[in-house]
Structure 1
Amino acid sequence: MTAGPYRLAEGGLGIDREAPVAYTWNKRPHTGYQGDTLASALLANGERVIARSFKYHRPRGIYTIGSEEPGGLVTIGEGARQDPNLKAPTVALHDALEARSQNCWPSPRFDLMSINGLAAPLFVAGFYYKTFMRPASWWEPVYERVIRRAAGLGHVSTQPDPDTYVRAEAHCDVLVVGAGAAGIEAARTAARSGARVMLVEERPWLGGRLAMEPATVGEQTADAWVTSAEEELDAADRVTVLRQTVAFGLYDHRIVGLVETLAPASINGSARQRYWTIKAEQIVFATGALEQPLAFAGNDRPGVMLAAAARGYAHRFGVAVGRRVVVVGGDDEGVETAMQLQRAGVNVVALVDSRPAEALDQSDPLAQAGIRHMTGAVATRADGGQQVRGLRIARLSGSRVDAARTERIACDAIAVAGGWQPALHLQCHLGGRPGFDEGRGIFLPPAMPAGHWNAGACAGEAGLAATRQSGRDAGAKAAEALGFDPAVRPLADPALAETASGATWGPVDRLRVFPALHGGKRFIDLQHDVTVDDVALAHREGYRSVEHLKRYTTLGMGTDQGKTANILGLHALGQVAGVGPGEAGTTTFRPPYVPIAIGAIAGTERGQHFRPWRRSPAEPWHRQAGADMINAGAWHRPRAYPAPGEPVSAAVKREAAHVREAAGIVDVSTLGKIALIGPDAPEVVNRLYANGMKTLPPGKARYGLMLRDDGLVLDDGTVARLEETRYLITTTTAHAAGVLSHIEYLLETAWINLRAAVASVSDHWATFAIAGPNSQAVLAALFPNTDTSDEAIPFLAVREADCLGVGCMIMRNSYSGERAYEVYAPADWGASVWSRALAVGAPHGLKPYGTEAMGVLRIEKGHVAGPELDGRVTAEDIGLGRMTARRKPCVGGALRDRPGLHDARRPRLVGLRPLDNRAPLQSGALLRALGSTGHDAVAGHISSVADSPACQSVIALGLLAGGDERHGEIVEAWDPLSESTHQVRVGPTVFYDPDGSRLHA
């Protein structure tokens, strides 16, 4: 079995020819081998058109062999597991893999949107800014939709992601990023000193370039040397090797973010990816180098690829990238590529070498191998449509191209060797800018804080011997900085280690952008269709900074972040601006180094795990009773208890009316509950609240208003004094955590001399409010051994009582305006006490009601809640100014008397009733004078709305400028979202039982 017509008869270091793998490509069955990537398997099967480009929808093929891939983007999976924009060289082949092309319709070979290429003169750099400016009203309904349909990449599934992701954190002495020759040497050296080492490699295998081309290391084959080093590292107790793990971000204090690929689309039920946060004492960067492309007409056609990629596919995967391959270069890299491909069994028809013949060694190995060596020549155009069919070349006369001396070579693949550039993205994440080495034509790492080291090609080293030695030196320095004593041995025989090609720097840089003699576009960014002409146009139009160039042309803004485009773009800019790459500079590199799944960042913190629901003890009963459950802050609470077929709105009105008529019970376990104890607890309470608390006797409760330091209202609630030095403070559900933190902060910083302590007891008590005319009868039935008369439990009294043999607490308090009692039961007994209350209260008409009915009741009585306590109001604004004490110190007391907070024009709380009783008022609607228009006339807003059964009308609370003086006035409630306006009458905040007689009835 060959698994494809382009599979070589021999070779393939990384594949298992005895383990075929079945997969589908664009719904067609294909076969590869275990160890293949999707890219190598597709190339082996003769698939050349993989996807279409962003703007022109030109055909795109496999261009690289790693995560720098700009063109071979694919979508894998179906439905919820659809994963777009994956780079084919990084997708590990596995059984049942479903992969397809993207950004094309109806197929990659015939894409109707390729008509964009005919309009290329219109789609030049910056055409978005020039074309879609007018009319402005067309942008969203027309332009944006057209652009999104015409341009783009793959489509993300709109279904919930079914895969799981996990997180991990680790600390190590030395983190080595990159497991090529330099990274392996650095890790081994640091590990041998006793340091805890983590080695991170983006690919599934170690070795870097040594694993992708034939080489020897000393007297060993590269494969044997890598295997030996891998076994040593895997066996070491203090070494962790992470394969298929990309270091995507470098942050302050030597923190590195990693994403490890664990399984393809969770096919084995395990997590798909692991997100690592690594805190390293020392970091060694062995990130290697990235081969660079060449710019000539048609250089984007499928079949054109980087030379090192062509070698890698032949050596590691046993795949020929073509049947007639031409190599294009300008240094020994081209010669090495041609020789390696020929030895692997790939038919190389020519090497197009820009160097003059007299500059080369006369003993040309290509001639002996039967490969035509065309010196003093450059590529000018790749012919073909959906695949390369030939290459046109031109001869050089000195440094000029001789248009009269051209030739066409028939071929189906072109391997371009444009030199190498150190991979510096990660090192630049701390904000440093790389420096340019004019002599070698490369950018070098920026200066970095202590504890960061560079090794190998990313440090500018060339050749295997120098790379390995720099790795040893960097590993030793990192270990020494931590107090370890590494024994650094120099290479035994550096000459023997030089039998593998290393990164090459230098002369090829001057000829990266070839002239366009035969017409056609010379592409720089293959993903975003940025051409040499686009760069020239941007420069003519004034976009001369490299940062402006990037944004105006979208150069380097694709999923590869310009790894194969930025340097070529700098050379193109240099040609028109007359500057070198060093003077042009580089753009800012930011995390992530490669695209990472949002799911990996979120990990398990999604859905309910992102913000876990807090459940009251009685929730099982609520669900069984058919409650409509909602999220209220962090809590899961019953909104209402609709009967079968009954709308929630009708259930809310029914429940609210029943409380007024008989009795209802509501679960308020979500209220914040804080225990405060200590000898100075009375003083603490008195300072916390704006109203007086020192006179509160044991066994009584009092409504309290808490201010922030700036004098605005923080929260309200009740303060129950259980004993002389023991209090129970209740807060609103939303502010429970904030109030607790506020008190803790004061006790630990401002009031350190006060002897008191606080603790949250919100989860200790299950709390229920029993309200309505029959509430006292229900309470008597629930606590038969307790005196529940008005004399025993007057308004705002707190009493201990026994229910079901469990100690409970009763507080006579009302949020509804009816006679009401709050029952506090230990949480473990909460469900039992709730059920008991409903059982014994049934003869008295007791029924449950939800949070919506509770809101209706409180609005009818004008009680404030979260919508009114929005952090912008004072006690006076909400009508509670008279209850605050002015002669005692309290938090916020110093700033509450600022003149601006007492301006009569401030919005004050008012009641609002529409002239049309059924008008659909909305919370958030704006209030303005009758007949006025526009936002400038806005004088307030509606904060809370209820459809009141007691008032037989829609009612609302709101904040209106000068509201205290505007009772009886008619104003407009304007909802700009629905463009609706309703007339409302301003009045008092209490709509029902204004004298409070029902509270004590």
Structure 2
Amino acid sequence: MSPRRANASGRIDRSRSIRFSFDGRIHTGHPGDTLASALMADGVTVFGRSFKYHRPRGLLTAGVDEPNALVTLIRGDVREPNLPATQVEIYDGLEAVSQNRFPSLSFDIGAINQLGGRLLGAGFYYKTFMGPVIGPLKGTRFWMFCEHFIRRAAGLGRAGTAKDTARYERMNAFCDVLVVGSGPAGLKAARDAAGDGGRVILIETDALLGGSARWSGRRIEGTEAAGWVEETISGLSELPNVRLLPRTTAWGYYDGNTIAATERVTDHKRDTATGEPRQRHWVIRAKTVVLATGAFERPIVFPGNDRPGVMLASAAARFAADFGVLPGERIAVFANNDSAYANAALLREAGAAIVAIVDVRAAISDEARRLAAECGGELLIGHAVVGTEGGKTLSGFKVQRFDAASGTLSGDPRVISADLLAVSGGWSPAIHLASQAGAGKAEWDAALQAFLPPKPAQDWTAVGTAAGDFSGGFGLDIAPAPVFEIRASGKAFVDLQHDVTADDVRLAHREGFVAVEHLKRYTTLGMATDQGKTSNVPGLAIMAEASGKPIPEVGTTRFRAPFSPVSIGAIGAERIGDLKPDRLTPMHDWHVEHDAKMYPAGLWHRPAVYGAPGETVEQAYIRETKATRSAAGIVDVSTLGKIMVQGPDATEFLDRVYTNLFSTLPVNKARYGLMLREDGIAYDDGTTWRLSEHDFLMTTTTANAGKVMQNLEYFLDVYWPDLKVTLTSVTDEWAGASIAGPRARDILASVVTGTEVDNETLPFMGIVRGEVAGIPVMICRLSFSGELAYEVYSGAGHGREVWEALIEAGKPFGMVPYGLEALGAMRIEKGHVTGAEIDGRTTARDLYLDWMLSKKKPFIGSAMMDREGLLDENRIRLVGLVSLDGRPLAGGAHLVEYNDPTVLRDSIGHITAVCFSPSLGKYIGLALVKGGKSRHGTRAYVSDPLRNRFGPVEIVSHHMFDPEGKRMHG
């Protein structure tokens, strides 16, 4: 392979030179060059190594579909890996390195993997690493032994650790017509839409608009293509209703005609102007979208097809005509369609010698024959390439007679000398965005042997080659012969980046992976960075042949966003750092001022503990818990979800969504309620307060507040639109403080005015209204801690003032503020459940809340809660645990019945919550265990190999403290 500059300059400005480096060596190029074209012109033929076998790989394409030439760009300390060299524009000082090789690109130790041969075929990982290790590590899985080494070898480019200092932007745009792609079809669509007066945005992934029309020599509307393109672009750029966006890749098509795109604003510059971003993330919403995304040329699969010097015919022609570099001096063409003949003519015109054109078809068109004659060299009709020769680059190839109808070879192969083999196996319309735009399936075109866009589910249309219209192709027959593979001796690669061979596809079929999605995942076909743009259709064709089915029946995998890799910086844009919205309670500043260690609870910030100097978290919550149980404690409960349920049908609505009755609840009383999912699984719990005949205040867990609100709205909108009920989220309208402990009533009595708080006026679950420091409050007597407790609610704007008044009133009684850790310890001691136990798998019976399941009414989940599997006595159910070896327990650890830490099997359940119990003086926990109550008083063992913890525990009732509730009802 002897690359050199071509006769034509194309877009290249040869009057200026650019210096850049690749693998530490200085190279030169010209403005307009990509890294691929500049390196090729400088004699580079090997650009990378393949993923699995580390085989040397050269350029296959000239665009976004490149699977081989992936590089890492280095800007200072920042590394950006896995960029196609075909998409990188060079600039002075650009620094690039090759990937997936050690110690160098020319000598890669990883190439020893090629000796693995069949051992590294499809399903290698699944078959090799699932068995047990034999020898000293007997009993462990082979994967656990090899994982460290496998992970070190995995991946392609190495990501950097330095902070990316570049700036990124995001933009929202609206238009009447969005045109994706600036080839002739896209330019025509943009021109027509602009002429009608609509707002038009035209985006193009390349640096220059015009697509292949700039270099292919075609004629458009009777004029030379490049001239027509320049004239049309010039006209569009002068229109005020048109925005042109080159260097912009549309990578995602979403509902509502929303397109996501990334603009490479300064990637091609060494120095940027002040304020210029590196990339810009566009979200474009359009009334109509025109997809003029073009088509990808496909290779033909044959032995040795991955050798550097084998390239797509359109890519070779583009490098010559557009970038002014010949990828070889003695070029041969291997094709199954006429488009390769036009590209051969372009290569000859650029200065290459065309030594042969090999065509699998038995007959070709007159126009193709005429072009072949102009090119010179041999014309081998009814022949196929059956192998390649050379070292790391191509020196020749083997050709043999071929019958396209039967797929059989005959005669003896002979060798033809060439340093470049340009291959054309037909064309695949770029239907990725069209497929993302709706749920329809791609449609097979038998003439083109390609998938066409599905029927639109949104307001879009495909035009040009993206729609299968190749009428502008020089009057040539673009329809290929249905030949995707030449079966001969040697490795024939389908997916070049992931080293998936034709034999791998057939092996997957023999092993039962016959669904196309299973084929993809088992072989990794189409899962590389190019997402199968050149490999999918040949791979599907080989699978179809193995299955004895037509290609459309085998189908194609889903095209998912992104169309091509997108930098995380562009997606995040200005949203850097901790961008999670913070929800702060009205008392947040007070907590911080009083040394609270804040803890994220969903989006909320809540105090974990109020640590004294030198205290550990455990010491702090033990102190807070003891103070609360002996005197009093106060905790901020403003984060509880709060929903107003109002209307004449409010009681009927609550009866339907809760498992227990609320229609019987008196005014100024609260009741604990449980919700189930429709499948009978526990969903959420909380208390609901009846404030008047038709007004209820529902409280939910902090984590589920939003989900419960959505669920309730769904029920009203879809199931029961006849109910006269209004739902209003008031979580942020109320500040809440809970005072708990034996002195809680005394504290309230000393600070609340306008109402009494004695047991008769404010019984358990009662509600009263009064004032604290002159501020109206609502008080409900309920407890999560198991102590005598009251929740005091005020308007959020007065939350801190009420909190400070309560704190001051509690000082003579020894009251302390406590955080989530103490709250958790007290709820574990009492056996109260939270999201750790209501985990989407447990039922009311599993949690011993079946006393709340009303037999007087139906409710959400009642129809499904009595299924046989949910009544099984051996289901995991709630229990308490006590550590018998005095060591802490850990949430998530499994429980087993055997006293052998080396055995990993037969879990009887897992731990959901743990703490040190100040009341019991032991480490305790809650767990979900098979059999539940039946195991009370028995021993089990904590098995937690990841944290090196194994030890005995006693299984007890989850009510480990004050099981009769005397303290709460006192």
Shorter-normalised TM range? 0.7 to 0.9
Aligned-pair distance for 1:107? 1.2
Identify the match of residue 956 of structure 2 among 986, 991, 994: 986
Q: Is structure 2 residue 298 aligned with structure 1 residue 301?
A: no
Aligned equivalents of 1:445, 1:11: Cα separation in 2: 35
Alpha carbons of 1:889 and 1:279: their partners in 2 closer, same or farther (altered >3 Å)? Answer: same
Aligned with residue 320 of structure 2, among 302, 314, 323: 314
> Structure 1 residues 818 and 11 mapped into 2: Cα distance closer, same or farther (>3 Å)?
same
Tell me the equivalent position of 2:136: none
Report whether the alignment pairs 1:47 with 2:29.
no
Q: 2:333–2:344: 8 Å Cα contact kept in structure 1?
A: no
Pair 12,953 (structure 1): closer, same or farther in 2 beyond 3 Å: same
Query: What is the aligned counterpart of 1:352 among 332, 350, 356?
Result: 356
Instruction: After superposition, give the CA deviation of every residue in 1:553-600 in whole Å (9 maximum; x if it has no partner).
Output: 6555533344434566688899x9899997997744533474333848
Aligned to 2:157: 154
User: CA distance change for structure 1 residues 320 and 824 in 2, over 3 Å: closer, same or farther?
Assistant: same
Aligned to 2:924: 955
1:919 Cα deviation from its structure 2 partner: 4.3
Measured after TM superposition, the shift of residue 671 of structure 1 is 1.1
Alpha-carbon distance between aligned partners in 2 of 1:710 and 1:584, rounded to the nearest angstrom = 37
Q: Is the 8 A contact 1:80 1:162 kept in 2?
A: no
Q: Tell me which amino acid in the other structure corresponds to 2:478.
A: W
Following superposition of structure 1 onto structure 2, how do residues 434-833 of structure 1 map, counting pairs within 5 Å? Answer: 434-435=443-444, 437=446, 442-443=449-450, 445=452, 448=455, 454-462=462-470, 464=472, 501=474, 504-505=477-478, 513=486, 523-530=493-500, 556-565=526-535, 587-588=556-557, 590-592=559-561, 594-597=563-566, 599=568, 603=572, 612-678=581-647, 681=650, 698-705=667-674, 714-744=683-713, 755-776=724-745, 778-779=747-748, 783=752, 796-803=765-772, 805-833=774-802
Q: Which amino acid aligns with 1:560?
A: D
Residues 289 and 423, structure 1, Cα contact 8 Å, conserved in 2: yes
Question: 2:897 and 2:368 mapped to 1: Cα distance?
Answer: 94
- Alignment partner of 1:759: what SS? strand
- Taking only aligned residues, the RMSD between alpha carbons, in angstroms, comes to 5.1
Specify whether residues 895 and 357 from structure 1 end up closer, same or farther in structure 2 by C-alpha distance, changes over 3 A only: closer
Residue 232 (structure 2) aligns with: 229
Give the C-alpha shift of residue 769 in structure 1.
1.6
| Cα deviation code 1:684-717 (max 9, x no counterpart) | 6677656665675555545455566677655443
Q: 2:210 aligns with which of 186, 207, 212?
A: 207
- Tell me how far apart the structure 1 counterparts of residues 552 and 878 of structure 2 sit (CA, whole Å): 64
Other-structure match for 1:487? none
Alignment of 1:245-256 (within 5 A): 245-248=248-251
Seen in structure 2, the aligned counterparts of structure 1 residues 667 and 607 have a Cα distance that, compared at 3 Å, is: farther
Taking the aligned partners of 1:696 and 1:225, their CA distance within structure 2 comes to 80
- Shift of the 214–920 alpha-carbon distance from structure 1 to 2, 3 Å rule, reads same
Deviations 1:302-343 (A, max 9, x none): 344333323322333333435x34243568766654554455
2:100 alignment counterpart: 103
Offset at 1:659?
1.7
Following superposition of structure 1 onto structure 2, how do residues 145-294 of structure 1 map, counting pairs within 5 Å?
A: 152-156=155-159, 176-193=179-196, 198-214=201-217, 217=220, 220-236=223-239, 239=242, 241-248=244-251, 258-263=260-265, 270=277, 272=279, 274=281, 276=283, 284-293=290-299
* Paired residue secondary structure (2:322): helix
Quick one: structure 1 residues 37 and 825, their matched pair in 2 at CA, closer, same or farther if it must change by over 3 Å?
farther
CA apart distance, 1:801: 3.9
Alpha-carbon deviation of 1:975? 3.6
Q: Unaligned regions of 5+ residues in structure 2, if any?
A: 134-139
Contact map agreement 1:425 1:593 (CA 8 A) in 2: no
Separation of aligned partners in 2, 1:606 and 1:435: 42
Contact 2:218-2:225 at 8 Å conserved across structures: yes
Q: Quote the Cα distance in structure 2 between the aligned partners of 1:746 and 1:456.
A: 47
C-alpha spacing 1:974/1:307, structure 2 compared with 1 (3 Å): same
Does structure 1 retain, via aligned residues, the 8 Å contact 2:193–2:200? yes
The residue type paired with residue 317 of structure 1 is F
32, 52, 68: which one pairs with 1:71?
68
Map 1:137-148 to 2 at 5 A: 139-142=142-145
Q: Deviation of residue 57 (structure 1)?
A: 1.4
Residue 860 of structure 1 aligns with which residue?
Answer: 829
Contact 1:674/1:728 (<8 A) preserved = yes
Question: Partner letter of residue 212 of structure 2?
Answer: R
Shift of residue 899 of structure 1?
A: 9.6
Q: Secondary structure at the match of 1:808?
A: strand
- 1:277 and 1:442 map into 2 onto residues whose CA distance is 33
Distance 1:655 1:32, change over 3 A: farther
Whether contact under 8 Å (1:76, 1:83) holds in the other structure is yes
Q: Distance in 2 between matches of 1:848 and 1:5?
A: 77
1:609-633 CA distance string (max 9 Å, x none): 7863422122233334333322223
CA contact (8 A) 2:431 2:453 kept: no
Contact 1:689–1:890, Cα closer than 8 Å, also in 2: yes
Moved more, 862-871 or 624-633: 862-871
Q: CA deviation at 1:764?
A: 0.7
Structure 1 residues 793 and 338, CA gap change in structure 2 (3 angstroms): closer
- Contact kept, 8 Å, 1:922 with 1:942, in 2: the verdict is yes
Distance in 1 between the 2:731 and 2:396 partners? Answer: 77
* Shift, 1:763, TM fit: 0.3
Between the aligned partners of 1:926 and 1:919, the Cα distance in structure 2 is 15
Contiguous gaps of at least 5 residues in structure 1: 468-500
Please give the secondary structure, in 2, of the residue aligned with 1:354: strand
Q: Give the Cα–Cα distance (whole angstroms) in 1 for the partners of residues 480 and 853 of structure 2.
A: 82
Partner Cα separation in structure 1 for residue 955 and residue 929 of structure 2: 12
Q: Cα deviations across residues 888-941 of structure 1 (Å, max 9, x unaligned)?
A: 78767788889998888777655444445x243444556677989999987766
Matched, 1:920 2:917: no
- The alpha carbon displacement at 1:458 in A equals 4.4
Q: Which amino acid aligns with 1:505?
A: I
**What is the CA distance between 1:991 and its match in structure 2?**
1.4
- The one-letter amino acid of 2:782's match is N
The one of 788, 794, 817 equivalent to 1:848 is 817
| Match 2:377 to one of 373, 377, 380 | 373
- Please tell me the residue identity of whatever aligns with 1:527: Q
Aligned mates of 1:958, 1:555 — CA distance in 2: 44
Q: 1:70-113, CA deviations, whole angstroms, 9 ceiling, x for partnerless residues?
A: 21112234799543322111223356544221111111111111
CA distance in 2, matches of 1:543, 1:909: 42
Q: Alignment length, in residue pairs?
A: 942
CA distance in 1, matches of 2:695, 2:562: 57
Output the CA distance in 2 between the equivalents of 1:63 and 1:222: 25
The percentage of aligned residue pairs carrying the same residue is 40
**In the alignment, what sits opposite 2:966?**
996
Q: Residue deviations 1:212-268, cap 9 Å, x none?
A: 3455545654333212222333455655544444455667x8957543234467986
Q: For the structure 1 residues 111 and 884, does the alpha-carbon distance in structure 2 shift closer, same or farther, using more than 3 Å as the test?
A: closer
CA distance in 2: counterparts of 1:358 and 1:691, whole angstroms: 80
SS at match of 1:807: strand
Partner-residue secondary structure (3-state), 1:352 = strand
Q: CA deviation at 1:653?
A: 1.0
Letter in 2 for 1:457: T
1:328 to 308, 333, 336: 333
The change in CA–CA distance for 1:57 and 1:682 in structure 2 (over 3 A counts) is closer
What secondary structure is seen at the aligned counterpart in 2 of 1:154? Answer: coil
